[in-house]
Structure 1
Amino acid sequence: MPKATRQTKFLPIVAAVALALSSCGGGAGADPSNVNPEGEVKPREISWLLSRPADGGVIKTMEQIADEYAETHPGFALNLVTTPDRPSYIQKYETLAAANKLPELFDTDATPFAQKLASQGRMVDVDLLLKDLGLNDEYREAALNYQRFDDGSLYMVPFEFQLEFFWYNKDVFKKAGTKIPASLDDFPAMCKALKAEGVTPIALDGKDQWPLERYMSYYPFRMSGPEYIQKLKTGEAKFSDPEGKAAAKWLSELGKSGCFQKGFSSAGYSDAQGLFTSGKAGVYNIGTWELNNLATETLDAGVRDDVDYFTLPTIDGSATEKNEYVTPSGIGMAVNAQTYDPLVRDFLAFALERYPELYASTGALSPTTSAETTIPEKATKVFDKAIKQADEIGGDIAMPWDTQLDPATNTRLQQELTLLVQGDITSDEFITTMDAALKENVGE
């Protein structure tokens, strides 16, 4: 079933869940600020409802940690309830929340739905928890800020830290006689030069839709920082505002300039990556979670020495700096205030202390500064360069819109973006449709 269709199918359910949640009393008797409850640590099985790849570094690391903890706490077990498919996960998570049956730990983005849970006292205050554990100063500021609600409160623990770059082929750029774009406005010219050289300018995973949505977020972030999406998701801003119009116009120009491969809407993740790693595309926008494929000897020898990256270009009068771009710390882990007890606290104290070193040893960036990433023996110079880049980022984060907008508006946006870039609709038609969708789903 196509992703967009699957999401649409869940919308009535999600709407019903939201209504149920709004009338639910939440965590009666729970105190989100009581991060160090008194009592005996009594081992039992606890559960973590999560949305992460089962073979990914986060789950593998936490499984190892849970096994280590169980060695000294007989009877303890961490039950991982995994649903990697995000729409299915959201349905399960919000349904359990409405029924007041969330487990001890659960994954969530910093959405309005999650903020409603926090306001009802159903999530432990992570700011207080990390301070109580003596770990708050070890976390990267950007990793924590990505998890914060718009009011600055923190109720999710980050387990990742990523930087999203524009990877490019230096040899292809040289042959095309083009340079790294200094501004977002230079993208159309760059695309035309690369296309004239006979290569796909930008490899895009259009099938999953979120990669194209990233492009929609770039111009508004440079124009006014993170505030635009914060207001857009609540209906305080519109797509017809200057930021939205500029983004739509830019996306339309990218389409007219042939920036993405023909048939991009049906191209998947591996298709896009393969296009770039084979030297058939000049640019590929993806995060440091792909370092092992883009910056080690795993990469084809024919392009290995030509692969480098540049960060999100600015614009004239940019409200954000060059070192501010998409730096996500992934979906966060919330702690259920209603089931929080000495055991959960003790396990989290052990896990969060142990996690950074183990996770960083896999070659990944830790959400803390306390652990140094292990550089693989067969890494290229770009690998080390990307890791060091993490210490140079600024304060503002370009938030991925798919984690911010309500499901209905997000689904419609992804559908309309494809039509816009394909030239099936104009930027004005796009704006009109999206403002109507926002009004219907969020209100004035």
Structure 2
Amino acid sequence: MPRTARRVAAFTVAGLTIAALTACSGGGSGQAATEFTVLGNVENEVVPATLQTLADGACATENEAMPLKVETVPQTNLNQQVQLLAGQGGLPVMYAVDTNELVQQLDDAGFVAHFDELFDELGVADSIEPAARSTVESLYDGEFLVLPTEYNIEGIWYNKDQFAENGVDVPESWDDVVAAAATFQDAGLTPFAASGEQGWPLTRLVGNLIERELGADALQAVADGDASLTDPEYVAAAQQVADLGAEGYFGEGVGSIDYDTSINEFLNGSSPMLYMGSWVLSNFADDTANRIGEDAIGYLPFPDVEGGEGDSSELVANVGLPFTINPSALNDDSKAWVACIAENYGQVALEDSSRISGFTVSGDASSNALTTEVRDRISETDTTIPWFEAYFSTQATTTSQQNAAQLVTGAITAEEFMTLVQGDLG
């Protein structure tokens, strides 16, 4: 997977802000932690639940020496809270960050553990799946800076029953996907479930089309300044997603559809296709929400584009919301906790939440057929590629996601959309 060069200029102002706050607070906590404190986001229930299960079981000894304490804030407030705590020298032992940009900024200020060194010291370096480590390093200039509490591949999830009922074969190309959408619309279905409120489920389509058309390094070229999102071939990818919206394939009111509603539209049979990451397996495993049944769900890697330089074997991958460790909070007890997490997190998350992580699974963890299929695909994947905003600044990411709905509703053109985002890339 390609690596992005660090955007020094983009981080300078924010980096100075944290550095100044740190100087005022004395440069860090300087106090030995007595609790294994964790800061996460309210929306992510899996990480706290998994850590609590570990505290009650595999990590009970570590929890007795240093009790687990988890706090959460809404994801929209997470970065602000992290920056505030960093400036006060009060970061917890383990904490989440909402953007890759802020992770690198915090690393520059000395608030992020380097897990290649820490895991070697603790003797748990083999607890990380190589593909997950490679994905992390590709996002952070070759540095292993965050824990892979998730390891997700992305693609199109489809309703096998609705495909069969409407005589639609599993698509082998992007043209096949578009043709399938037309068939489903004619049958009275909304072809794609997607959240315009979040925006990124739509921009993910733009990114995939760019990489299938132009090759795996296409977004890296933008990050390096060797290409621009306003180049005609990049705008063409955004135009294809705009065309889907113009045909009504995302349904009415897509801009007001939130994440949970889009998942429910797929699971109640309203929409036969959903672009999403494999974190959605947790939703699929919920018998109450999943009305179509797990046996009816298939997984399709984003397909090839005819004549394109990319390949459907190259999957978009990520490690979820970045969680890292505050090095100033490490002592013998907290290190023992980190080692226990590394050795046991993967199995507990898989068994309890159907959540695939980047940690190895040491035992025979039970999982359903769909989860097993995804795990097999991960093990067979040699090359992963970034999502659309993976290398973007925080502002460019916000601009992209907040304008995605306007792109598919025709409120702005594909060229206007790409110009807005490129303008915030600097």
TM range (shorter): 0.7 to 0.9
- Please point out which of 397, 402, 410 is paired with 1:423: 410
1:282-431 superposed matches below 5 A: 282-294=272-284, 305-362=295-352, 363-371=354-362, 374-375=365-366, 379=368, 381-399=369-387, 401=389, 404-431=391-418
Instruction: Kindly indicate whether the alpha-carbon contact (under 8 Å) linking 1:108 and 1:114 is maintained by their aligned counterparts in 2.
Output: yes
Measure the CA separation in 1 of the matches of 2:243 and 2:187.
Answer: 19
- Letter in structure 2 aligned against 1:422: T
Measure the CA separation in 2 of the matches of 1:29 and 1:290.
Answer: 40
- Please point out which of 83, 101, 116 is paired with 1:112: 101
| Structure 1 residue 324, shift from structure 2 partner | 2.2
> Match of 2:37?
47
Measure the CA separation in 1 of the matches of 2:226 and 2:26.
Answer: 32
> Match of 2:125?
136
**Aligned Cα RMSD in Å?**
3.3
Can you list the C-alpha shifts for 1:52-91, whole angstroms capped at 9, x where unaligned?
A: 546x2321221233355564675522222212x2221011
> Match of 1:255?
245
| Structure 1 residue 414, shift from structure 2 partner | 2.0
Instruction: Kindly indicate whether the alpha-carbon contact (under 8 Å) linking 1:226 and 1:399 is maintained by their aligned counterparts in 2.
Output: no
- Letter in structure 1 aligned against 2:136: Q
| Structure 1 residue 342, shift from structure 2 partner | 2.7
Measure the CA separation in 2 of the matches of 1:168 and 1:73.
Answer: 42
Instruction: Kindly indicate whether the alpha-carbon contact (under 8 Å) linking 1:248 and 1:427 is maintained by their aligned counterparts in 2.
Output: yes
Q: Secondary structure at 1:286's aligned position in 2?
A: strand
Instruction: Kindly indicate whether the alpha-carbon contact (under 8 Å) linking 1:150 and 1:230 is maintained by their aligned counterparts in 2.
Output: no
1:66 counterpart = 2:55: yes
> Match of 1:433?
420
| Structure 1 residue 144, shift from structure 2 partner | 1.8
Q: Secondary structure at 2:327's aligned position in 1?
A: coil
| Structure 1 residue 198, shift from structure 2 partner | 1.7
Q: Secondary structure at 2:298's aligned position in 1?
A: strand
| Structure 1 residue 210, shift from structure 2 partner | 2.3
Can you list the C-alpha shifts for 1:122-155, whole angstroms capped at 9, x where unaligned?
A: 3221111222333223322232233224421111
Instruction: Pick which of 363-372 and 231-240 moved more.
Output: 231-240
**1:316/1:109 Cα in 2 relative to 1: closer, same or farther (>3 Å)?**
farther
> Match of 2:8?
none
Measure the CA separation in 1 of the matches of 2:226 and 2:83.
Answer: 25
Q: Secondary structure at 1:200's aligned position in 2?
A: coil
| Structure 1 residue 434, shift from structure 2 partner | 3.0
Q: Secondary structure at 1:323's aligned position in 2?
A: coil
Measure the CA separation in 2 of the matches of 1:204 and 1:366.
Answer: 24
| Structure 1 residue 190, shift from structure 2 partner | 2.4
- Letter in structure 1 aligned against 2:358: P
**1:227/1:52 Cα in 2 relative to 1: closer, same or farther (>3 Å)?**
farther
Measure the CA separation in 2 of the matches of 1:225 and 1:285.
Answer: 20
Instruction: Kindly indicate whether the alpha-carbon contact (under 8 Å) linking 2:22 and 2:88 is maintained by their aligned counterparts in 1.
Output: no
| Structure 1 residue 243, shift from structure 2 partner | 5.1
Instruction: Pick which of 265-274 and 245-254 moved more.
Output: 265-274
> Match of 1:209?
199
Instruction: Kindly indicate whether the alpha-carbon contact (under 8 Å) linking 2:19 and 2:109 is maintained by their aligned counterparts in 1.
Output: no
Q: Secondary structure at 2:318's aligned position in 1?
A: coil
> Match of 2:75?
86
Instruction: Kindly indicate whether the alpha-carbon contact (under 8 Å) linking 1:164 and 1:288 is maintained by their aligned counterparts in 2.
Output: yes
Q: What is the TM-score of this pair, normalised by structure 1?
A: 0.80
Can you list the C-alpha shifts for 1:185-207, whole angstroms capped at 9, x where unaligned?
A: 44332222221122111111222
**1:411/1:300 Cα in 2 relative to 1: closer, same or farther (>3 Å)?**
closer
Instruction: Kindly indicate whether the alpha-carbon contact (under 8 Å) linking 1:201 and 1:282 is maintained by their aligned counterparts in 2.
Output: yes
| Structure 1 residue 240, shift from structure 2 partner | 0.6
- Letter in structure 2 aligned against 1:399: W
Measure the CA separation in 2 of the matches of 1:292 and 1:107.
Answer: 20
Instruction: Pick which of 193-202 and 319-328 moved more.
Output: 319-328
Aligned residues: 409
- Please point out which of 17, 21, 24 is paired with 1:20: 17
Measure the CA separation in 2 of the matches of 1:242 and 1:233.
Answer: 17
Can you list the C-alpha shifts for 1:299-349, whole angstroms capped at 9, x where unaligned?
A: 767666543221111224544432322232212322222333333222212
Instruction: Kindly indicate whether the alpha-carbon contact (under 8 Å) linking 1:160 and 1:367 is maintained by their aligned counterparts in 2.
Output: yes
Q: Percent identity?
A: 26
> Match of 2:231?
241
- Letter in structure 2 aligned against 1:171: D
> Match of 2:147?
157
**1:406/1:302 Cα in 2 relative to 1: closer, same or farther (>3 Å)?**
closer
- Letter in structure 2 aligned against 1:89: L
Instruction: Kindly indicate whether the alpha-carbon contact (under 8 Å) linking 1:107 and 1:331 is maintained by their aligned counterparts in 2.
Output: yes
Measure the CA separation in 2 of the matches of 1:302 and 1:370.
Answer: 29
Can you list the C-alpha shifts for 1:352-397, whole angstroms capped at 9, x where unaligned?
A: 2232332232133242333357445xx5x43433333232222223
Measure the CA separation in 1 of the matches of 2:21 and 2:221.
Answer: 26
Instruction: Pick which of 263-272 and 227-236 moved more.
Output: 227-236
Instruction: Kindly indicate whether the alpha-carbon contact (under 8 Å) linking 2:343 and 2:359 is maintained by their aligned counterparts in 1.
Output: no
Q: Give the gaps of 5 or more residues in structure 2.
A: 1-10
